[in-house]
Amino acid sequence: MSASRERKKRNEQVAEPVKEKKSKKLSEGAIFAICMLAIVAVLLAAVIGYGIYKNNRAVLKVGDHTVTVSEFNYIYNSKANSLSSYASYMDIDTSTPLDKQYVSENGASWLMLLGIDSSFLENYTVTDGYYNVTWAQLLAESAKDDAASVYAIYNEAKEKGYEPDEHLKEEVEENIEQMKEYAKQNNMSLNSFIKRVYGKGCNVSGYRDYLTAQAVASHYASTLTYTPEELSAKKAENPDDYVVATFYQFSVAASDFVEADENGQKPEATDAEKKQAKEAAEAMAKEFDTANESVSIKTDTTRATLTSSTTEEAANWLFDTAKDGDVKLFENEGSYYVLKLIDKIDYQTGNFLEIVIGADGEELAEGELTAAEKVEKIKAALSADASAENFKALAEEYSDSHESEAENLRRSTLASVSNDALLWGMDARTEGDFEVFEASGSTVILLYTGAGDLYSDVVATSVLASEHVQEISDAAAAECNYDEKAAMSANVGVYGN
């Protein structure tokens, strides 16, 4: 059709007089349907709005940070899930929501083991062995304290200009990647999986923020420093806490010579077996054998620690009388202890870099090096260049966990690797020294990068930092305006949902 004919037709249509239409009456059914649709729309908007309000409701506030129900879910559920392995011992039914179960006296006796403060229960009475408070209320109270602590420390760290380093960021992302793997195994998106694990309103963005705050809070205390005067004042409060000994200890008891019965029970030791234990201890005291499998090395041991683990007599001898290399036998209720002092000094800690090479899996990928081959390549490379830069590059190439950097490493930490690592670290070292040690299920390569601080200064710094963190955490918990009703609107049931 031509353009002129089109225009003509439109003009004719416009020019045509409008006919008056008769109004059409809606049926009662149509009116009812429209009203129902309107009501549904209003209700749906209300439900969505309430869900948003609920998830963003404030549970507590720390400084200028408000912990919403969604964020509280991460902290609460992490704590609640930690109970699952112990549920049967704690009278917890995993098929019933935690806000429907009351805390038993038996269950409360496990709280210290799990790092949960039980003082909250002092506010509640006990009837027939159960407190009149639910597990959800108890765990929410504990989660409140954790949240207050995390954000009190996190807020101060931000104020002081502390920024997460690359290792800290990697730590957070590794957690995210692990969640991605779990989500994949369950054929779910990451956001859907996080929502299922932690509750409504939870997603990857909020989870990352929570992990970052938690990581900063856990690392910040180690960055705090104090003046020599502050350290001296702290050490002067309890001098014995900063005097430590390193020594060999041989332990033997009469029960070591008793054969267990068919039920695995050992009967009372006979006089002959008691005599065997005493003779073994006397032989060790006469000629101390550090290679004996019953000999261990004790490090960073205070007088109080030795008193509680052996006898007061042994502690007094070791700290007041013994000289390096001295040996003495002590007896306590049928158990014998032979101690050989290595030293008791305020030693210099060390700074190290560490690579851990795990044991080989059942099958190696094509072309993959064995653990032994990796270790040999690292040793050869370090023999040519034992710089920290090369060490880090080797860690990046051969170790899944990369390298870890440890400043002011104490003897007790070296001893946790192996006795050989401890004795190597105790020797005079120079920057660039490295050694390989076999540990439990892995091989550890250590590179010495320099001297650290005195042991007593390291401990005093740690004590001051811990006290500071505890102080600001307690203050935050006391002033956080905790709303238990808001907390109970979080995903507190966990089990049986």
User: Is pLDDT at 202 greater than 60 in this prediction?
Assistant: yes
User: Residue range 114-131: average pLDDT?
Assistant: 93
Confidence class of residue 55 from pLDDT cuts 50, 70 and 90?
A: low
User: Is pLDDT at 309 greater than 50 in this prediction?
Assistant: yes
Higher model confidence: residue 59 or residue 43? Answer: 59
At 336-364, the pLDDT tens digits run: 999 999 999 999 999 999 999 998 887 88
User: Residue range 139-156: average pLDDT?
Assistant: 96
Asked whether the beta carbons of 201 and 69 are under 8 A apart, the reply is yes
Asked whether the beta carbons of 409 and 347 are under 8 A apart, the reply is no
Q: Quote the CA–CA distance of 83 and 104 in Å, as a whole number.
A: 14
CA angle 273, 277, 280 (to 5 degrees): 135
Q: Quote the CA–CA distance of 133 and 103 in Å, as a whole number.
A: 6
Report the percent of the chain where pLDDT is more than 70: 88
At 243-253, the pLDDT tens digits run: 999 999 999 99
Task: Quote the pLDDT of residue 403.
Answer: 64
User: Residue range 91-101: average pLDDT?
Assistant: 93
Per-residue DSSP letter, 223? G
Give Cα separations from 17 to 8, 14, 126, 282 (angstroms): 16, 8, 88, 126
Task: Quote the pLDDT of residue 48.
Answer: 39
Q: Quote the CA–CA distance of 48 and 176 in Å, as a whole number.
A: 28
At 430-480, the pLDDT tens digits run: 999 999 999 988 999 999 999 999 999 999 999 999 999 999 999 999 999
User: Is pLDDT at 33 greater than 80 in this prediction?
Assistant: no
Task: Quote the pLDDT of residue 17.
Answer: 39
Lowest mean pLDDT, pick from 194-198, 233-237, 465-469: 194-198
Q: What six digits make up the tokens of 485?
A: 């009703």
Asked whether the beta carbons of 136 and 488 are under 8 A apart, the reply is yes
Per-residue DSSP letter, 479? T
Lowest mean pLDDT, pick from 47-61, 317-331, 373-387: 47-61
User: Residue range 286-299: average pLDDT?
Assistant: 95
Share the mean pLDDT of the chain: 87
Q: What six digits make up the tokens of 332?
A: 């306590």
How many helical (H) and strand (E) elements, i.e. helices and strands, does the chain have? Answer: 18, 13
Higher model confidence: residue 497 or residue 43? Answer: 497
Asked whether the beta carbons of 465 and 48 are under 8 A apart, the reply is no
At 480-492, the pLDDT tens digits run: 999 999 999 988 8
> At residue 358, what are phi and psi to the nearest 5 degrees?
-70, 160
Report the percent of the chain where pLDDT is more than 90: 72
Q: What six digits make up the tokens of 79?
A: 């704590």
Task: Quote the pLDDT of residue 485.
Answer: 94
Asked whether the beta carbons of 395 and 456 are under 8 A apart, the reply is no
Task: Quote the pLDDT of residue 35.
Answer: 43
Burial per residue of 331-342, b for 16 or more beta-carbon CB atoms within 10 angstroms, e otherwise? eeeebbbbbbbb
Task: Quote the pLDDT of residue 367.
Answer: 83
Write the DSSP string, 300-331. EE-HHHHHHHS-HHHHHIIIII--TT-EEEEE
Higher model confidence: residue 315 or residue 273? Answer: 315
Confidence class of residue 312 from pLDDT cuts 50, 70 and 90?
A: very high
Q: Helices in 24-134 by DSSP H: which ranges?
A: 28-55, 69-81, 105-108
Higher model confidence: residue 171 or residue 497? Answer: 171
**107 Rama class: left (phi>0) / alpha (psi -120 to 50) / beta:** alpha
Chain centre to alpha carbon of residue 367: 36
Q: Quote the CA–CA distance of 408 and 175 in Å, as a whole number.
A: 27
Residue type, 200: K
User: Is pLDDT at 49 greater than 90 in this prediction?
Assistant: no
User: Is pLDDT at 38 greater than 90 in this prediction?
Assistant: no
SS3 assignment, position 421: helix
Q: Quote the CA–CA distance of 324 and 341 in Å, as a whole number.
A: 5
Asked whether the beta carbons of 448 and 352 are under 8 A apart, the reply is yes
Asked whether the beta carbons of 133 and 121 are under 8 A apart, the reply is yes
Lowest mean pLDDT, pick from 49-63, 128-142, 202-216, 478-492: 49-63
Q: Quote the CA–CA distance of 93 and 383 in Å, as a whole number.
A: 58
Using alpha carbons, select from 145, 72, 138 the residue that is nearest to residue 102. 138
Give Cα separations from 363 to 247, 356, 368, 375 (angstroms): 42, 19, 10, 18
